[in-house]
Amino acid sequence: MGVSEMNRTEDCVDADIVMKEPEVETATIPTYTMQALWDKKLSLKDFEVSGEDKPTLPYDVFEQDEVLPIIDLQALLGNDKDARYVNLARMLEAAKTWGFFKIRNHGVALETVKKVEQNVKKFFALPMEKKLQVKAVNFVFGYIGGSPVSWKNKWWLESLHMKVQEEAIRKMVALVWSDNPKFADEFMSALTRYYSSMRELSRLIVECLTEGLGLPPNTYTKLETPDAICNARVNHYPACPDPSKVFGIPSHTDPQMLSILYQDDVGGLQVLRNGKWIGIRPDDSTLVVNLGDTFMAITNGILHSAVHRVALNTTRSRYSTIYFYGVDNAAPLSVPPELITEDRPLLYRPFTVNEYRAILTEHQVPDDGIKFLRIQPGVTATARKKMFRR
């Protein structure tokens, strides 16, 4: 799919799912990889990666215990000042170095996340015609049967994107389960519970990190508005006949502020740390947090948006349930002056999330999309300052 075509689909952001806007021409909706595979229009061969970025690490090889930092949120919120300080410092360090960490004692019941996973599993089990009734026309909302087939790196997954917009989700659910309103209600209430827990948890983490950077805690969270791309997504990675050549999702960074992820017990999530791939062990007592490009850019690169990917296996389907926390799509974003110093001059130009999303769309979700926001070397300090004041 060419850039202009993508932009046309982007224009339909409000349309979100086909059934809402019947005038959206199906020609503007790309063909997706898994769907094409199931329709026999693609074969396994088309998914094989070439070059350096091969699936080198099997899905079930994990980091040594405790390598990936685990932050105790209860200690962070408690009255014990020392424990709070220690955990805040550890979280900040993990955010600067790994861009990934696990949180435990986070206050969200496992059942709250599992319910969403189980309900969306039922969605994935529906016949394709049913799923296609709510096919997404963009990456914001609805069913997506893979990555666009035109992408060089193909994704072996199907996913359901659910923007935090009650009305739109209610319509989608009512359409899919028109014959089972009781289940539709249960789906909605489980999702609503999940959203509110995750939004609160995301705000808490963002505010702790912001405080750790020496800024007023609400510096970034105040930029959250109903228009933010706060959304949830459940990914389903079917078993794959050749995981040594095919990825679930090839290496990438997430564009938003941060993602909170629950993976089932199969395994497959891997993060790049100092040039080495590390498998994240599934674990029901923790959630995985990873920082995104927006957070990295507006902290002047102090916090790290980590490259990650998903490995597949031959026998088991894998599911992951992810909440993406973002700030307002249209708000002008720039680095707070406190984070710009002689030693660390301004690294990223001002931008909006909408602008960044357009860049990523154009470049097919690379694993270094943030480079498009980087100020070119050689730009003088005075010019950087001017840019910052814009």
Interface residues with ligand AKG (CB under 6 A)? 235, 249, 254, 261, 263, 269, 308, 310, 320, 322
Sign of CA dihedral 245, 102, 302, 208: positive
Query: Closest CB to ligand AKG among 206 and 261?
Result: 261
For Fe ion, which is the closer residue by CB, 115 or 252? 252
Taking the complex as a whole, how short is the minimal distance between the CB of residue 19 and Fe ion, in angstroms?
Answer: 28
CB of 250 to Fe ion, least distance (A): 11
Residue 189's SS3 state is helix
**Shortest distance in whole angstroms from residue 365 CB to ligand AKG:** 9
Of residues 224 and 254, the one with the C-beta less far from Fe ion: 254
User: CA 310 → CA 252, 271, 327, distances in Å?
Assistant: 10, 9, 26
CB 255 within 8 A of CB 293: yes
What does 320 interact with, of ligand AKG, Fe ion, none (CB < 5 to 8 A by kind)? ligand AKG
Count other Cβ atoms within 10 Å, centred on residue 88.
17
As given in the structure block, the two tokens for residue 134 are 């709510």
- Output the residue with the shortest Cβ distance to ligand AKG: 320
Write down the least CB distance from residue 308 to Fe ion, Å.
Answer: 6
- Contact window for Fe ion (CB under 5 A) among 114-122, 254-262, 277-285, 376-384: 254-262
- Gap between the Cα atoms of 338 and 95, Å rounded: 18
Which window, 123-131, 144-152, 189-197, 249-257, contacts Fe ion (CB under 5 A)? 249-257
143 vs 137: CA distance, rounded Å: 9
Give the integer Cα–Cα distance in Å for 349 and 373: 6
Among ligand AKG, Fe ion, none, partner that 213 touches (CB below 5 to 8 angstroms by kind): none
Q: Would you say 151 or 183 has its CB closer to ligand AKG? A: 151
Shortest Å distance, C-beta 320 to ligand AKG: 3
Please identify which residue in 158, 254, 293, 328 interacts with Fe ion, judged by CB under 5 A.
254
Q: How far is the CB of 319 from ligand AKG (least distance, A)?
A: 8
Q: Whose Cβ is closer to Fe ion: residue 15's or residue 234's?
A: 234
Give CA–CA dist 130/98, Å, rounded. 40
293 binds Fe ion (CB under 5 A): no
Smallest gap, in angstroms, from Cβ of residue 386 to ligand AKG? 35
Q: Residues in contact with Fe ion, total (CB under 5 A)? A: 1
Q: Which two structure tokens, joined as six digits, stand for 114? A: 């599992």
DSSP labels for 313-365? Answer: -SS--EEEEEEEE---SSS-B---GGG--SSS---B--B-HHHHHHHHHHTTS
Q: Min. distance of Cβ 322 from ligand AKG in angstroms?
A: 5
- What is the C-alpha to C-alpha distance for residues 7 and 102, in angstroms, rounded to an integer? 36
With respect to Fe ion, which residue has the nearer C-beta, 254 or 328? 254
Quote the Cα angle for 248-96-370, to 5°: 55
Residues 133-172 interacting with Fe ion (rule: CB under 5 A): none
Contacts of 371 (CB under 8 A, 6+ apart): none
Q: Measured between alpha carbons, how far is residue 350 from residues 144, 273, 298 in Å?
A: 31, 28, 8
Query: Could you say which of ligand AKG, Fe ion, none residue 310 binds, taking C-beta under 5 to 8 angstroms by partner kind?
Result: ligand AKG
Q: How far apart are CA 77 and CA 249, in angstroms?
A: 35
Least distance between Fe ion and beta carbon 152 (Å): 18
Separation of alpha carbons 76 and 81, rounded Å: 9
| Nearer Cβ to ligand AKG (20/308) | 308
- Pick one of ligand AKG, Fe ion, none as the site partner of residue 269 (Cβ within 5 to 8 A by kind): ligand AKG
Considering CB distances under 5 to 8 angstroms, the limit depending on partner class, which of Fe ion, ligand AKG, none binds residue 359? none
Q: Which is nearer to ligand AKG, 300 or 361 (CB)?
A: 361
What's the CA gap between 244 and 255, in Å, rounded? 27
Q: Contact positions toward Fe ion, by CB under 5 A?
A: 254
